[in-house]
Each structure stands twice: as C-alpha cells, then as structure tokens.
Amino acid sequence: MSTLRFNALKETLHRTPVEIPQKGRRSEIFGDNVFNEHAMLQHLTKDAYKSVMNAIEFGTKIERKIADHISTGMKEWAISKGATHYTHWFQPLTGATAEKHDAFFETIGNGRAMEKFDGGQLVQQEPDASSFPNGGIRNTFEARGYTAWDPTSPAFIYGTTLCIPTIFVAYTGEALDNKAPLLRALQAVDQAATAVCKYFDKNVSKVNASLGWEQEYFLIDAALAAARPDITLTGRTLLGHSPAKGQQLDDHYFGSIPNRVMNFMRDLENECMLLGIPVKTRHNEVAPNQFELAPIFEEANLAVDHNSLLMDVMEKVSQRHKFKVLFHEKPFAGINGSGKHNNWSLATNTGVNLLSPGKTPMKNLQFLTFFVNTIKAVHDNEELIRASIASASNDHRLGANEAPPAIISVFIGSQLSAVLDELENVTKGKLSPQEKTDLKLNIVGKIPEILLDNTDRNRTSPFAFTGNKFELRAVGSWSNCAGPMTVLNTIIAKQLKDFKAEVDALVDGKGLKKDEAIFNILREYIKASKKIRFEGNGYGEAWEKEAAKRGLSNNKTTPEALKAQISKQALSLYEEMNVMSKVEVEARHEIELEEYILRIQIESRVLGDIARNHVIPTAIGYQNTLIENVSGLKEIFGKEFKALAAEQIDLIERISKHIAGINSKVNEMIEERKKANKLSGQKAAEAYCNMVKPYFEEIRYHCDKLELLVDDNLWPLVKYRELLFTR
C-alpha cells in the first residue's frame, strides 16, 4: 500500500498543466449550446416562440400542436450542433442530477431510418426510474414515474446530448424531485410579493426570486485521491494527522492560483460559457487547495439548475486535468470546510430590487417592508431553515473554522439595527403629521446613505444582509440549492401574505392610511422578531447560552434538525402555500433520514476497514522491525541493551496501546452498528448519530497517533501534507 502512495506522489509531481485552447470572447460564446431566446427566434415559428415565452413569463400551458413545432425546431438546432441523443434532465431526491439518453432515431421500414423527436417526447416521458428514493410515495414495482418539461429553464447541449430540464413526479402527481416544490414556492412568493408591491407601484405584475450561489470546493490530484479509500468512498478523509502547516498563515487565501488549477478553471469557465452559466468570479479560498467560483445573479429556478449542472461539469472537467474535485463540506479536519452561500433577493418585472432602497421615501418604505418581513419570516421558521441545510456532511462544518453555527440568526449591521430600533417607537394607530415627516425624512429617507457607508460584515452569521440581498451562508457545498431555496421562498410568501392581510385590516377596518398601517405592522414585526437579530461572534459557548436565553433552537445534528420538517407548523405552511402536500413532506423527511443513516453507516464501514486492514498491519510491521532491533541490541550488548533500546521499547509499547485501542473501538463500533441496523427511521438515525458516530474520533485518534510513530516509508495512506500541498 505504501508503494501505491509513493507511486501516486511520483505521478503527481510529474504532472504538467493541460493546455486549454482559446474559444473566443466570452460574450460571443455565451449560451452557444443553449436553446435560448436567440436560438428560438432562429428555429421556431412565431406562434411557437410566443407560446414558449408566455409559458416562461406567465406560466401558460403549451398546446400539444405547438409542442410539435417546438420539438421540431429544437431537434434541428440540436442536430446542427452535433447532438445525436436527447434526455429529460431532472433532479431526483438523491441530491444529484439524472438522465436517460434516447437517440434521435427511428426505423421506418425497408432498412431506412429517420431522426425523430416530437412534441410528446419533448413534453413528457416515462423514464421508469423506480429505484430512486421516493419515501413510500410509490412502490418499486410501480415504474410509472414521469418527467415533464420545464420551459422556464432552457434546454442545452452537453457533449452530444440535448438535455431538457424537467420535473419528476409520481403517476399520482406527487413530486419525486427537488425542482417541482421549488417551482411551486417561486410561484407562491411571486403572487404574495406582487400583491404587496402594488401598495407602492401598481405597474408591478410579477416578482422573481433571484439567486447567486458561491460554490466552494477542494481540488486534489486524482492519483493522490485514488490512494485514499476514504476519499474515494465517502468524499472526505476519515483519518489523517494535521500537517505542521495548514491555513494558519492565511497565505493561500486570494493568493496566486496554481498553474494546473488555473487551466482547470479556464477549461471549466469555457464549458460554463457555452452552457449559459454566467460564472464571473474565481479565487483561492482560505484552506490549502480550496477554491471558489461565483456567477452573476439569475432567476432562482435557473440558478439552481445551473448550480446542479455546474457540479456535474466540474467533475468531468476535473478528470481531464487529473484532479478529483471534492464537494464534501469538511473533507479535511482542522481547516476550513466548504459552503455554498445562497445570495437571495426579490426583483420586480419593472426592474426594481425589493431589497435595495430607492431615491424616494416611498421606495425606501417598500425596501423596509420586504426587509422586515424577511427577518420576521426567518424568526418564525428558524428551525425549518436549519432543517433545510441539514446533512451528515454539513454537520461537520457548521460551527467550525469560520462556518456559521447551527443556531439560525440574522445579521443586519449596527446601522440598520439602529433604524429598526427607531421604528419600534412608532405611535400605535394614526400618526401625527410631524411623526410622518420625521419618519420619512430622518429615518426612512436616510437609509440609502446608511447602506452606502455600511461596511459591517459577519462571517459567522447564517443569514446576513449584505447591502441589497440576504446571504444564507449555512448551505453546504454538496447541497442542492433547491432545498433551502424552496424553504426560504415558501416562508417569505407566507409572511408577505399575512402582512398584506394585516395591513388591509387596518386600512379597511381601522381607517388608517396605507403608509400608517404599514408602519404599524412593521413596528410589531420588529418587536416580535428582535431575538433573531444578532450582531456578535457566532462561535462558542457565550452565543449558545445567549441563544438559549432568547429561545432560539440549537439543533446541532441532522436527526435533531430534521424533526422540524414534519412539525404541525411546517405541514400547515407547505399545504397553505400549495408547495408540498403532507405526503410529499413526510416522504422527503423519510428519505433524508435514510440518507443520513446510510452515509454514517458507509463511513463507519470504511473507517473500520482502513483502520484494521491498512493502519494496524502497517503498525505491526514497523513494530516487528523495532522488536528485531531490540533483540539484536540485546544479543550484542547483553544486560546493557535496555538503556540503549529504551526509545525502541517505548515505541513498541505505545504502538501496542494504539493497536489495542483501534481494535477495541472498532469492535465496539460494529456492535453499536448492529444495534442501530435493527431500528428504523428517527430511532435509527439517532442511534447512528449518538452511538456509532462518536467512535469515529476515538478510532481516528489512535490511527493519527500511529501515523506519527510509524516510519514514513511504510505508511500506506497519502498524508495531509501531500493532499493539501502537492500541486
């Protein structure tokens, strides 16, 4: 095994950057492989084009006859670009994407064939897909799972395949994917936000949620990664002693990008441009061999699709450059993990960002309305937000090395906090002319000036306002953005719906003017949600104690956090907003618990295997060498050998203790795993979390100590210093 390690290192050291041909200006190739508006204008009839655009903008249905015209144009465009197959590209509840390729090919008799792709094949397919997680929504022998075209996300060509973004549902209509609930949540927030916007601008007819994700990741040489069974099977290192130098010098952050990595990034960005993914930013992150890329903001559904596609493209491009890309939130202990910050906002069809102040007091009151309602929504649903970012892998990251804690709080900065504090003192009921003037000129009117000079930033806040958007920083790098975005847009939609009802009640029932009613309701929301606002450091016991005093939840583990998904409050929320039925919510809860169980189970088995089949034999081999050395010293020096062999004897004893420690802890872990396997659902997840997982650190401790004791030439596993610093 040590031979494999050194061969991998030798192979890595002889790598050269892969040359990347220039494909022209980015503005020229952007979206070249996307069936976007430009491509539709060239390949669709006027009626077909209009039908697709109406479906995108207004959600209208596309008639079957028109679908035939669209499919013909889409097929001709795809074939002209070298496509031979098509697929319904969807996002099942595995967190990854899925596809089944069919050829544009049909026999027509007499030894002849033709390219075929009609409206029925475009709009709907039955891909079987019975083995995907379904949480009991359908039996595996009922193979009728359907994919249905989502025209709001354009088709694209990857390789030689036309990929058509679709939803994935059971034959009974329940969603079996991440996209369908997201689309419903986006429709709900559109309706609720548009209704509130009409208080300020009657011309607003649509509100889109926007998303800008920031994808963090590690790049490890493929040969080094292949020499680590834990990375291969779990996506992270289950053991490995920290190197003398890690990230403590901060010399990697924003540093010069290594040549091999730079060429990988160029190659990736070329692919992204062709696929219409608007990546703009790239840089080194804090940890060694950690990097980040970020796009320009897009409509949330399209942004989610682009992030899912990006992760797939990154893995394929990394193979060309002999890299292994790691999306796990915590692939290495003791250094920063990786997140996927979700920057969220709302924008109107009139071009206004609802979380950005305007030039008039009324525009600023609009900003305050959406700003305060967002905080109130997070306050009322903080456990549900925590559940939306819960996973076995993200549990390792939350609360460590600059990642936000598991306690959900909102950071808005001291200056905006002062504004909300002022608004708490608004008079109940009707406002005097002087108070109205003071509010609009001295408080609301000055918000743009405040934000212009607002440099506050809190890296430990899970949900922070950053100037014209909120940033959900707690999302894990491995996650599908659809989960947290579905929750966030649903709770905002519910909050805005309630807000409008309360404002209308004051206007119609109490005779208050519209702006008076808005100020009155916002005042109550500010008071009610004050405990969720936190400006301090999110690390450590001090904040945990303070959060407990405030009544905020601190669900540190996934089994704890996921309970919020099936609470009465959550079920009522989803059903009221028509985002998910009780069956769909409970199915997702069951699937996520099962995934947690299986991930911990796999890690447990892999760790036991590495510890017993790699670490212990190596340690015994080195120990035998030491024993032979001691025996030789005794034979040569007689009674004096003890003084001469003291160090070797001490090493033999220490190695023996660590070997015994590994054996006993692995045995105990296996017994606990057997007990957990007899349970199911919540009890099984809690058993794996509380009874099996704690052994990981105990076994790792002994293995990592042996790494320091055993001869480096014998150690079988690629070490942290090699994984993190070999370029």
Lowest mean pLDDT among 271-285, 327-341, 398-412: 398-412
320-343: b or e for each residue (b if 16 or more CB lie within 10 Å)? ebbbbbbbbbbbbbbbbbbbbbbb
Longest dimension (CA), the chain: 105
Count CB neighbours of 694 within 10 A. 12
Q: For residue 247, what pLDDT is reported? A: 86
Whole-angstrom distance, CA of residue 106 vs CA of residue 616:
59
Lowest mean pLDDT among 377-381, 397-401, 438-442, 654-658: 397-401
More confident site: 679 or 453:
679
Q: What is the 3-state secondary structure (H, E, C) of 675-695?
A: HHHCCCHHHHHHHHHHHHCHH
Q: Is 634 exposed, middle or buried (0-12, 13-18, 19+ CB in 10 A)?
A: middle
Q: Which two tokens stand for residue 122?
A: 């475009």
E strand or H helix at 589, and its extent? helix 582-610
Q: How many residues in the chain?
A: 727
159-169 pLDDT tens trace: 999 999 999 99
**Closest C-alpha among 592, 355, 407 to residue 483:** 592
Count CB neighbours of 319 within 10 A. 12
Whole-angstrom distance, CA of residue 68 vs CA of residue 472:
41
Q: Which two tokens stand for residue 324?
A: 């292994």
Q: Token match 């306690």: residue?
A: 407
- Cβ(265)–Cβ(257) below 8 Å: yes
**Closest C-alpha among 571, 580, 577 to residue 187:** 577
**Closest C-alpha among 400, 564, 573, 385 to residue 483:** 385
Name the 3-class secondary structure at 471: strand
Beta strands in 313-434 (DSSP E): 323-326, 340-348, 410-411
Q: Token match 């919540």: residue?
A: 682
Q: CA dihedral in degrees (109, 115, 121, 126; nearest 10)?
A: 60
**Closest C-alpha among 662, 721, 724 to residue 696:** 662
Whole-angstrom distance, CA of residue 614 vs CA of residue 624:
16
Q: Is 84 exposed, middle or buried (0-12, 13-18, 19+ CB in 10 A)?
A: middle
Q: Is 453 exposed, middle or buried (0-12, 13-18, 19+ CB in 10 A)?
A: exposed
Position 141 confidence tier, pLDDT thresholds 50, 70, 90: very low
**Closest C-alpha among 155, 128, 151 to residue 140:** 128
Whole-angstrom distance, CA of residue 727 vs CA of residue 717:
18
pLDDT higher than threshold 80 for residue 408: yes
Position 10 confidence tier, pLDDT thresholds 50, 70, 90: very high
Q: For residue 453, what pLDDT is reported? A: 58
- Cβ(480)–Cβ(90) below 8 Å: no
The helix-helix angle for 568-576 and 582-610 (nearest 10°) equals 130
Radius of gyration of the chain (CA): 29
pLDDT higher than threshold 70 for residue 139: no
**Closest C-alpha among 15, 107, 113 to residue 324:** 15
Q: Is 499 exposed, middle or buried (0-12, 13-18, 19+ CB in 10 A)?
A: buried
Whole-angstrom distance, CA of residue 3 vs CA of residue 415:
60
Query: What pTM does this model have?
Result: 0.95
Whole-angstrom distance, CA of residue 692 vs CA of residue 161:
44
Mean pLDDT of the chain: 92
691-700 pLDDT tens trace: 999 999 999 9
Q: For residue 726, what pLDDT is reported? A: 80
The helix-helix angle for 414-423 and 514-528 (nearest 10°) equals 120
Whole-angstrom distance, CA of residue 80 vs CA of residue 132:
34
Lowest mean pLDDT among 93-107, 137-151, 244-258, 303-317: 137-151
Position 460 confidence tier, pLDDT thresholds 50, 70, 90: confident
Whole-angstrom distance, CA of residue 602 vs CA of residue 606:
6
492-536 pLDDT tens trace: 999 999 999 999 999 998 889 999 999 999 999 999 999 999 988
pLDDT higher than threshold 70 for residue 595: yes
DSSP string, 480-534: -THHHHHHHHHHHHHHHHHHHHHHHHHHHHH---HHHHHHHHHHHHHHHTGGGB-
Q: Token match 């660590």: residue?
A: 658
First to last CA, the chain: 22
Range 220-231 average pLDDT: 97
- Cβ(287)–Cβ(135) below 8 Å: no
Whole-angstrom distance, CA of residue 173 vs CA of residue 596:
26
- Cβ(184)–Cβ(194) below 8 Å: no
Q: For residue 115, what pLDDT is reported? A: 87
DSSP string, 401-432: TT---SS--EE--HHHHHHHHHHTTPPSSSPP
Percent of the chain with pLDDT over 90: 76
Position 395 confidence tier, pLDDT thresholds 50, 70, 90: very high
Lowest mean pLDDT among 73-87, 364-378, 637-651, 684-698: 637-651
Q: Is 64 exposed, middle or buried (0-12, 13-18, 19+ CB in 10 A)?
A: exposed
Q: Which amino acid is at 99?
A: E
More confident site: 341 or 448:
341
Whole-angstrom distance, CA of residue 304 vs CA of residue 314:
15
**Domains of the chain by range and CATH?**
31-176 (3.10.20.70), 186-580 (3.30.590.10), 595-725 (1.20.120.1560)
Lowest mean pLDDT among 54-63, 300-309, 486-495: 54-63
Position 481 confidence tier, pLDDT thresholds 50, 70, 90: very high
pLDDT higher than threshold 50 for residue 107: yes
Q: For residue 90, what pLDDT is reported? A: 92
Q: Which two tokens stand for residue 339?
A: 């997140």
More confident site: 445 or 28:
28
**Closest C-alpha among 343, 461, 456 to residue 406:** 461
Count CB neighbours of 501 within 10 A. 11
pLDDT higher than threshold 80 for residue 140: no
**Closest C-alpha among 378, 370, 406, 412 to residue 391:** 406
Position 404 confidence tier, pLDDT thresholds 50, 70, 90: confident
Q: For residue 456, what pLDDT is reported? A: 56
226-240: b or e for each residue (b if 16 or more CB lie within 10 Å)? bbbbbbeebbbbbbb
The sign of the dihedral angle between the CA atoms of 446, 449, 455, 460 is positive
pLDDT higher than threshold 80 for residue 450: no
Name the 3-class secondary structure at 284: strand
